[in-house]
Structure 1
Amino acid sequence: MTPGEPATRRHEPDRRERLIDVTLDVIAEHGVAGTTHRKVAEAAGVPLGSMTYHFDGIDDLLAVAFTKLATMTADGFEQALAAADSKAEACEAVVALITGDLLGTRRNALLTYELYALAARRPGLRRVTDAWMARSRAALARHFDDNTTVMLDALIEGLSIHRVLAISPLSETTVREAVHRMVGTP
């Protein structure tokens, strides 16, 4: 570009989606408190003005990013449980969810805890967590009765937390035993 020549705009039709993905990365690294438009724009390699073009403020950005996280996680939950043809296979799907990448990675756990903490302080975000829990429970309800579904949902949360935060994480065998005890299968 020569002096005096107007700058050309780079056309990037998926920029908004990319900014949402980068926002999740920034939250995982810095937490909600450390996430700013400036950090997200810098991490995405876009002008700061892109943030205000695509989002109505930091609260909008966080809500959209956490909605994407909840949707992706609920989608994975539904897919895993839909593939199960029996209660035993559903139990194995639950074990795989807890011990696998969907719920069991440090990044996903950090993002989930950041969402929970923010939703506890901002009731508007509870719609995101409520919708996520409803989808998770509906996926479980395909294989388990209502009471077991609610208890199993809580067990999944607790075991996921323990696996990610513990210095010596629970083994897959222990997770499997806990799931089977909860649902009453050998």
Structure 2
Amino acid sequence: MTPSADSVSGTPPKQRQRRHEPDRRERLINVALAVIAERGVAGTSHRRVAAAAEVPLGSMTYHFAGMDELLTAAFTRLAEEAADAFDQAMLQARTPEEAVEAIVGLITGTVLNRPDALVATYELYSLAARRPEIRTITNAWMARSRAALERHFEPETTVMIDAMIEGLTMHRALSLDPMPVSTVREAVRRITTT
């Protein structure tokens, strides 16, 4: 074996520096959501997320015991971010009319309708339909949404509004001819004024 130049010169070989990244787990969760939005749950793997995050594959197994843990963390993040945005929108409403407009804005605006977030949300719904343990994420999300709505409406009404928000958001996202904002507003008013 031929000695390396470093061993001949007495200089110690250079070691690859480890990048110190204290928030790597959080970044991996965000990257996982982007991969889920791009490739779906079925196309998401530790290897794909590691490549997209430009980290060693071992970093994935260090932070997540398996795909179930990664998916749970990613979908929990997605649900919490959506619930936070929903909560903020409802907190800003001071009157029943402002609450109606906040709901219309949630359905028709960008808060819940970013294309990547919508696709990831539908992936979450699909996974929750197949795996009851994932429903804890969707149930926690619905509970937060309803709590935000209950600042303005009766509990029974909040259940209807929450379901309507989900349905109208999905309808508008998938329709080639989305329901106009005026129709969304009328639908919200009909439920909230009964």
Match of 1:151 in 2: 160
The within-5 A match list for 1:67-106 is 67-106=76-115
Write the letter of the residue equivalent to 2:78. L
Write the letter of the residue equivalent to 1:127. T
Write the letter of the residue equivalent to 1:5. K
Match of 1:52 in 2: 61
For 2:113 and 2:30, the matched residues in 1 are separated by 19
Q: How many residues align?
A: 184
Match of 2:18 in 1: 9
The within-5 A match list for 1:97-176 is 97-176=106-185
Give the drift of 1:105: 2.5
> Which ranges of structure 2 fall in alignment gaps of 5 or more residues?
7-12
The within-5 A match list for 1:19-30 is 19-30=28-39
SS in 1 for 2:137: helix
> Once the two structures are superposed, what CA deviation does each residue of 1:67-88 show, in whole Å capped at 9, x if it has no partner?
0001111111111101111111
For 2:171 and 2:193, the matched residues in 1 are separated by 22
- The percent identity for this pair of structures is 61
Contact 1:102 1:108 in 2 (8 A): no
Contact 1:104 1:163 in 2 (8 A): no
Write the letter of the residue equivalent to 1:120. A
SS in 2 for 1:126: helix
For 2:193 and 2:96, the matched residues in 1 are separated by 10
Match of 2:70 in 1: 61
> Which ranges of structure 1 fall in alignment gaps of 5 or more residues?
none
For 1:13 and 1:165, the matched residues in 2 are separated by 39
Contact 1:103 1:109 in 2 (8 A): yes
TM-score by length of 2: 0.91
SS in 1 for 2:60: helix
